[in-house]
Chains A and B, each alone.
Chain A
Amino acid sequence: MSATYRTLYLLASFAAASAVFAVSPVGVESTTRASTAVRQTAQTAQTAQDKPAIDLSKLELYLDKAQHGSAVIRPQAAARLVPMGGPAAERLFELCGADPAAMAEMGASLVEVLGAFDDPRLRERLWQGIADPDFPWRPAAARSLAQNLLQRAPTSDAGSDQLAAAQADEARRFRALLEDPIAPVRVAAVQALEKRFPEPDMGLRAAARARLADTSDFVRRAAAVALVGWGEPEALLWLVEDLRRSDTFFERWSGKNAAYESRRALQALLGDTFGYDPEVPPSDATNVAALAQLDAAVRARIGERAVPVLPNVARASGPEPDAVLGLELISCRRGEHYIAWTSDDQLLVGIGNPARVELPEGTTARLLGFAKEQVAQLDRPYFGLPGCDVEMLRIVSEPGARAQSWVVSKNQARIEGLRPEALGAVLRELIASLPEGLGASDPRLANLRDAAREAMIAIGGR
């Protein structure tokens, strides 16, 4: 559009200059000057278009908005820095400081765009952040690297061998992140490896298949998409299974959310989801018909290949009507834990199809009674600031009632006295009640008590 306007402008200027010549007695010399002026205008415009000058005040404005703007403006402002190229990269490198603690101050939105500059120094800063378990923006750093794979050699005089060596080094680091304790980091690692290796070796295939039993449905989904792209259509079964989910974790739409995500993936991979609608239950007649067609389409893709058995963690389940007490711990440094207690003394761990542990009789009633007493002392349901560290206590006071929630949250910075004592007492009691020595049968149960305690301390202290 702008080219059209520029042409119009030049034509109008040329017409004006011609008009000057036509009516002027000055003669040929003036004509030449006028034509030269028009040419110079065009050349100047062209040069300006080729190398737009960086408006430093804009650069600083975007940096400020990306750090201190509202939650919706921060990512937009950060994205506007990328077309500014070198000058923006220099300022960001300055802001990164010398260690991940300094880089943490930049905020997640700026960290997330660092990889887009293809600057080896910024990439190294991102890797340093990922290597530090206390760096709060590890998911943003991993996504930044994964979405912008290394294209440029570490130094300007490096040859193609050195670029290949640097790419191989990054691939090795991404492989290690497949086992990371934070699920969004594992998702980024899977997606980076999928993009980096159109034809993976057997080891990488095996590592991706192992992620089909990941405790996070986001990681399982990313692994399934990668494996289908690598010629293993049986991984489509994991995506179709998500469409059968109707689970919730108290007020959380876990099953419906998974259905939306997997429907989008299936649409891209199969080209059709046959009218499946995540807004209505999988048992609805429309969805039953859609699922039958999806099953047939996937079986046709699988053909003669072996049909795998889905692990328990990936199997669809429904809501847990007997869950009366719940604890969600979402730490940007120590991972996520979803734990529920049912009225018939079962401990449920995880989202979707949870791991189940029988508890001594009366455990839930005791914990629920204590929790009700404590929360009665609280004057409000929310404490803290919005951010990536969140604790939620859920209580269903009467059978059939909706859960009430008490929430503590904060951003990367520690806040003294964030969690009220009454809430702290409930959390400590709940975590202390978690059985030890579990985990042989399900990774969600491994070191559950210690892992939950670590997450609790990372969010709101002891």
Chain B
Amino acid sequence: MPPVALLPALLLILLLASAWSPARLGRAAMELHARLPGIHEVEKPRPKPKPGDQVDATISLLQLRDAPYRRGQPLAQWILDLEGKYVAIEGYMALGTLEGLSEFEFVPEECECGGSKVNHLVMVSLTDSTTRFRAGRFYMRGIFSAGELEEDDFVTSVYRLRSRAMPD
């Protein structure tokens, strides 16, 4: 076979070798990693909680805070089991939450005093209303989801709750 006939195959091999660089492979691995449930959360449309819904589970933020968490590692099974469930969570609105926002940090202590660990809070998003500051402990009800959500390679939330509104 004349050498020139092998040129397309050769070009293909070279193309594959350059395309499969470590950086590209790394990115591909990250994308795959992002699809694993309970490790990286790919936000998807979730059902909206309705008035009168019965909760599937009631938990406190101290329980979530106490659960082991390491970046990139699977979460505890009992937390993964709450995925998509209608859950009541007891905690505090983070100090300094502004009025009129569509989301807020729900924390296990009134004073986080100096910084928050990302696995110590639930990011609550409100679908039908906005925030008003509320002191003291209270329950939030909504659809729970768990998994690392990232922005610029920083984890911004591990636990989330989609709620209609804050309780009266």
Contact = CB atoms under 8 A, between A and B. Distances in A.
A135 to B, nearest CB: 13
Contacts of B133: 380-382
Nearest to B16: A12
Contacts of B95: 382, 386-387, 390, 407, 409
B51 interface: no
A75 B25 contact: no
A381 B115 CA distance: 22
A69 B63 CA distance: 27
B113 A332 contact: yes
Contact of A9 (B13, B17, B92, B117): B17
Nearest to B25: A5
Contacts of A380: 133
Given A72-B156, A405-B135, A257 B109 contact: yes
Interface stretch (A18-26, A283-291, A316-324, A447-455): A18-26
A402 B136 contact: yes
Nearest to A3: B22
B60 A19 contact: no
A-B complex: 9 closest residue pairs judged by Cβ atoms: A386-B96, A405-B135, A12-B17, A251-B136, A5-B25, A72-B118, A71-B116, A23-B3, A382-B133
A140 B25 contact: no
18 contacts: A1-B29, A2-B22, A6-B22, A9-B17, A12-B13, A12-B16, A16-B17, A72-B155, A250-B136, A251-B136, A260-B65, A332-B113, A382-B95, A386-B96, A387-B113, A392-B135, A404-B136, A407-B95
B62 A23 contact: no
B21 interface: yes
Interface string B1-42: 001001101100110110011100110010000000000000
A69 B154 contact: yes
Contacts of B25: 5, 8-9
Contacts of A65: 154
B112 interface: yes
Contacts of B16: 12
B150 to A, nearest CB: 10
Interface residues of B, number: 46
Contacts, number: 137
Interface of A: 1-2, 5-6, 8-9, 12-13, 15-16, 19-20, 23-25, 65, 69-77, 108-109, 137, 139-140, 250-253, 256-257, 260, 264, 278-279, 330, 332, 380-382, 384-388, 390, 392, 402-407, 409
Given A253-B137, A279-B63, A330-B113, A70 B156 contact: yes
Contacts of B81: none
A384 B113 CA distance: 14
B110 interface: yes
Contacts of A251: 92, 110, 135-137
Nearest to B120: A72
Contact of B26 (A5, A70, A388): A5
A397 to B, nearest CB: 13
Nearest to B62: A260
Contact of B115 (A2, A6, A75, A250): A75
A76 B17 contact: no
A99 B87 CA distance: 49
Contacts of B6: 19, 23
B109 to A, nearest CB: 7
Contacts of B92: 251
Contacts of A1: 29
